[in-house]
Amino acid sequence: MDNRPKKRSLTLQGHRTSVTLEDAFWIAFKKIAAETDTPINQLAAQIDENRGLTSGLAGAIRLYVLDYYQKRAR
Tens-place pLDDT, residues 23-48: 999 999 999 999 999 999 999 999 99
> What is the per-residue pLDDT for 10?
96
Residue 1 lies in a domain: no
> What is the per-residue pLDDT for 54?
81
For 9, what's the count of Cα atoms within 13 Å in the CB-facing half-sphere?
A: 3
8 pLDDT band, cuts 50/70/90, is very high
Residue 32 lies in a domain: yes
Domain count, the chain: 1
d(CA 44, CA 13): 10
> What is the per-residue pLDDT for 3?
83
Residue 47 lies in a domain: yes
pLDDT over 80 (residue 2): no
